[in-house]
Structure 1
Amino acid sequence: MLDDFMTRATLAGVGTALAAAPLGCFVVWRRMAYFGDATAHAAILGVALSLAFSMPIFVGAMIVALVMAAAVTLLTGRGYAMDTLLGVMAHSALAFGLVAVSFLSGVRIDLMAYLFGDILSVSHVDLAVIWGGALLVVALVAWRWSALLTATLNPDLARAAGIDPRREQLVLTLALAVVVAVAIKVVGVLLITAMLIIPAATARPFARTPEAMAAFAVVLAMVAAWIGLQTSYQFDTPTGPTIVCVVAVMFAVSSIASTLRRAG
């Protein structure tokens, strides 16, 4: 069954949705969208390093994403506003990554595939990496769910309950790095943040509890991945951007429905 490229692509899209959607809820709640963007942009530098040192792309992307996250954490509060710091580091990392790729000799690289994804070329190994990473993220978020939620809603309450908000931030950082490394093959570094944020934002108006929002976001992301893949196949459009277009349409419909419900 896995010999069919569409089956592999569908499983890759579902696996990426499973990893990105629950984590995306915390990104939305904490207003960390730009942080996710910076981490994703840094991944292209990880791709260059992976190719230069003959490492798996997943390993290089995750290492650079972790370094980026650690650097942002260390530099925060040292004279620069968070959005300024993230803007500088995100675009600098992307630029250095693109320049580094240009210096690689004897290595064939499809840069567009890493920027916008190439889900239709997912191999059996890629599929194992995507699902391994997705299950790791889900297990990590499930294990720390209560502590993460408390630290997100009220850091002071978290400290009173013996929860270290900085430790929970580190857990989110680790999970975010894994998601970036997992999703790079499916939607590319420029669109990863969209898969993190849009399903969670779409689910938010209709969820009564944080758990319901996370579950609804997962379902929406999986459905969007499947619809986007089928649409891309039918109309010969870029698959990664098509998937993001589908979740964007879902968000628009969700916003309209939420507005009409409040008006009524």
Structure 2
Amino acid sequence: MITLFDSFLIRAALAGTGVAIAAAPLGCFVIWRRMAYFGDATAHASILGVALALGFQVPIFAGVLIIALLMATAVSSLSGRGFAMDTLLGVLAHSSLAFGLVAVSFLQGIRIDLMAYLFGDILAVSRIDLAVIWGGATLVLLLLWARWSALLTATLSPDLAYAAGINPKREQLVLTVALALVVAVAIKVVGVLLISALLLIPAAAARPFAATPERMAAIAASIGALAALVGLQASFVLDTPTGPTIVCAAAVFFALTNLGSAIWKNRLPAVSNDR
């Protein structure tokens, strides 16, 4: 019996949408906290998780999640201990990616499509992959919903958070777990090298039109989902790599929203003068 999920394009569209609506709101916190390199380091470390998962014959999702959590925890614990944050993140991001690529080369008797893990292979998403992606996305959204107020307070002012009885370090751990989950579910869609782009670009595109944090998160999720669908369609029509095409679509939306915002701001004084 043929069902809707037997179409690889439908599965790809659902996978891209699931990753986008989880990554974009989380990307808002990444932008507000100026953690762009943090997301990059966690994503790059995930290729080491792929290698270890294949070597020990455990699910890829589990290996990537464990390594992403370890990387995010290591960065959080090492920050403020004599290293500049951008230097620390640069060292950890590139070294973990290099160790992962070297580890993959030692795998014997295992065929691995490295390009699929680096740039994603959304068209090969299976029903099981789809369940993992939406399960992880749901967990991330529930985590953000449950901790939204505390996360926002800790992001705006750690001192205010302490005064309100909120532990900023605990909220940082919540973001760490959410980021690791997004990286683990997104690797199949856009790959290691493009995960941070899916985190940052939709959130940055939503910023000019967001009067409140909640609105920014909602607009970012909408832009991310639309970029996934438009990128998938463009990839199918133009015969281009799907993961990079999705990121290109998000980049186009970023350019359009910022251009539209600039035009609107320039138009406002003229309208005021006419009155």
Please point out which of 10, 14, 22 is paired with 2:13: 10
Moved more, 68-77 or 47-56: 68-77
Distance 1:139 1:197 in 2: 20
CA distances 1:41-62 after superposition (whole Å, capped 9, x unpaired) = 0000000000001111111001
SS in 1 for 2:150: helix
SS in 2 for 1:191: helix
Amino acid at match of 1:191: L
Aligned to 2:78: 75
Aligned to 1:20: 23
SS in 1 for 2:211: coil
Aligned to 2:91: 88
Amino acid at match of 1:223: L
CA distances 1:209-236 after superposition (whole Å, capped 9, x unpaired) = 1111000011111011000001101111
Aligned to 2:150: 147
Q: Give the alignment of 1:46-85 within 5 angstroms.
A: 46-85=49-88
Aligned to 1:125: 128
Distance 1:79 1:13 in 2: 39
Aligned to 2:272: none
For the aligned residue pairs, the C-alpha RMSD in angstroms reads 0.6
Deviation at 1:132, TM superposition (A): 0.3
Distance 1:167 1:81 in 2: 22
SS in 2 for 1:144: helix
CA distances 1:9-30 after superposition (whole Å, capped 9, x unpaired) = 0000010011101101100110
Distance 2:75 2:155 in 1: 18
Which runs of at least 4 in structure 1 moved beyond 2 Å after TM superposition? none
Deviation at 1:77, TM superposition (A): 1.7
Aligned to 1:182: 185
Identity %: 71
Q: TM-score, normalised by structure 1?
A: 0.99
SS in 1 for 2:42: helix
Aligned to 1:113: 116
Distance 2:183 2:138 in 1: 14
Unaligned runs of at least 5 residues, structure 2: 268-275
Aligned to 1:34: 37
Q: TM-score, normalised by structure 2?
A: 0.95
Aligned to 2:273: none
Distance 2:105 2:29 in 1: 36
Structure number with larger C-alpha Rg: 2
Deviation at 1:260, TM superposition (A): 1.4
Amino acid at match of 1:144: R
Aligned to 2:229: 226
Distance 1:212 1:34 in 2: 24
Distance 1:200 1:184 in 2: 19
Deviation at 1:99, TM superposition (A): 0.2
Deviation at 1:80, TM superposition (A): 1.1
Aligned to 2:220: 217
Aligned to 2:270: none
Amino acid at match of 2:6: D
Aligned to 1:172: 175
CA distances 1:180-211 after superposition (whole Å, capped 9, x unpaired) = 00000000010000000000000011011111
